[in-house]
Amino acid sequence: MLFYNLITQLYFLLISLSSPFNAKAKLWVNGRKDLLKHISKSLQNDEKRIWIHCASLGEFEQGRPVIERLKSEFPEYKIVLTFFSPSGYEIRKNYKGADYVFYIPEDTSKNSKAFISLIKPAFVVFIKYEFWMHFINELYSKKIPLYIVSANFRNGQLFFKWYGGFYRNILYKISYFFVQNESSKLLLCNIGLKNVVVSGDTRFDRVYDIATSSKDIPLLAEFCNGHKIFIAGSTYSKEEEFIKNLITINQAVNIKFIIAPHEISEPGILELIKSIPTNTIRYSEANEQNVINAKVLIIDSIGMLSQLYKYASIAYIGGGFGKGIHNILEPAAFGMPIIFGPNYHKYNEALELIKDGIGFSISNSEELVALVSELVSDEKKLENTVKISKKFVEKNTGATEIIIKKIKEFNNLNSGSQ
């Protein structure tokens, strides 16, 4: 306990010290000033509440199908949504699917007691990886059910090490685990946890919903204008060098390019446009006249990427030359071959896509150029990949239904009951 407190307090301290120099850290610190007072003033009396917590935007998108089903099926409960990271909170603080959206307070014994005393949740849902010890201890002591949704455990995690007993004990206080796969269930069962069900990954439900309800973007249709579209999503600078080389080689080919950088900053966008040796335009300056003749479209706004895949023939997803790849399920739902860097092995969906012949890992620019050339020149292979990709997503949907059904059973709830 002492070691955990020292580590977390050091982490929070480092964020505070960096806040004058780091915009994200500043948002993290400012968002928690007088947070408990703000929460106390915001909440209405005599409400029944469900608390759902996400680390950041990715976990929110993963948990969104569950949030929206809980909201629709149990309208008598207010949804309290919390985020750890500013990248989730700042983008979704006005999300209509929740009644309240807050930052989660720092994980201390005092904060956890005060926060849970204010919220008084009937039950709690944490998405994927959140294991804040003091909050879990407080929920456990008050006998408030806590469900972990779309969890994905790996053998190398501290929970399963011989010296990880302290962290492993946290898991025994979880009411129920909804895990993505059988290997996660087996790891939990091997340490004596039987309160586990393989529900699958709710991201499949989310991306399937996005794909089936996607709206047209007329400006994108004008840009495409019968061309094959190569989209590079959530890219970093190293990957953008690869993409620029690909563009240079394919200037005279019937391919257009969309680049949606992971980090959007004015200097970065300007530098990217300047470095591309062909007609390039940014989305914020595009119109029906100038977009038709553009070879490259740079996305300089947040929140569009999932809708852009509708227009793509091939997708490259960034992150694979860093900590790990970003969301590859969104393009898969629209049907296309998906390319990414070498750091993908901890992502089950990447392993499955590669096995099915619709995911491709590259290690350098030359491999990317050769792969795209092969895909573009083989129309039959491209069409087949589209079909397989869509089927892959469709066959993995249904996690939300399993989770909601189990939560109803555990809490003795009926849809729409008062």
Q: Would you list the domain boundaries of the chain?
A: 31-200+398-411, 216-395
Residue 256 in 3-state DSSP? strand
Query: d(Cα 13, Cα 24) in Å, to the nearest integer?
Result: 14
According to DSSP, residue 364 is labeled S
Q: Which amino acid is at 368?
A: L
CATH number of 216-395: 3.40.50.2000
pLDDT for the residue numbered 415: 63
Beta bridge partners of 197: 178
∠ CA 195-204-127, nearest 5°, is 45
Query: d(Cα 179, Cα 148) in Å, to the nearest integer?
Result: 8
According to DSSP, residue 325 is labeled -
Query: d(Cα 77, Cα 242) in Å, to the nearest integer?
Result: 49
According to DSSP, residue 47 is labeled -
pLDDT digits (tens, 9 = 90+) for 358-410: 999 999 999 999 999 999 988 898 889 999 999 999 999 999 999 999 999 99
CATH number of 31-200+398-411: 3.40.50.11720
| The dihedral sign for the CA sequence 259, 265, 270, 275 | negative
Residue that is written with structure tokens 């079909």 in the block: 387
| CB 259, CB 280: distance < 8 Å | no
Q: Computed over its alpha carbons, how large is the radius of gyration of the chain?
A: 23
Query: d(Cα 182, Cα 203) in Å, to the nearest integer?
Result: 17
CA distances from 189 to 44, 96, 168, 172, 195 (A): 41, 38, 12, 11, 9
pLDDT for the residue numbered 251: 76
Query: d(Cα 196, Cα 153) in Å, to the nearest integer?
Result: 12
Q: At what angle do helices 365-377 and 379-395 cross, to 10 degrees?
A: 100
User: Of all helices (H) and strands (E), which one includes residue 37?
Assistant: helix 35-42
Same fold, 31-200+398-411 and 216-395: yes
In this prediction, the residues of the chain whose per-residue pLDDT falls under 50 are 417-418
H helix runs in 120-171, sequence order: 133-141, 165-171
Task: Please name which of 40, 35, 118, 122 lies closest in space to residue 83, comparing C-alpha atoms.
Answer: 35
pLDDT for the residue numbered 302: 82
Joined together, the tokens standing for residue 168 give 């492993």
CA distances from 94 to 42, 72, 102, 264, 305 (A): 14, 18, 10, 21, 19
Backbone angles phi, psi at 159, to 5 degrees: -55, -30
Residue that is written with structure tokens 């201390």 in the block: 108
Residue 19 CA, distance from chain mean position: 24
Residue that is written with structure tokens 């007609």 in the block: 279
Residue 347 in 3-state DSSP? coil
Ramachandran sector of residue 192 (left: φ over 0; alpha: ψ -120 to 50; beta: rest): left
Joined together, the tokens standing for residue 299 give 């996305």
pLDDT for the residue numbered 418: 43
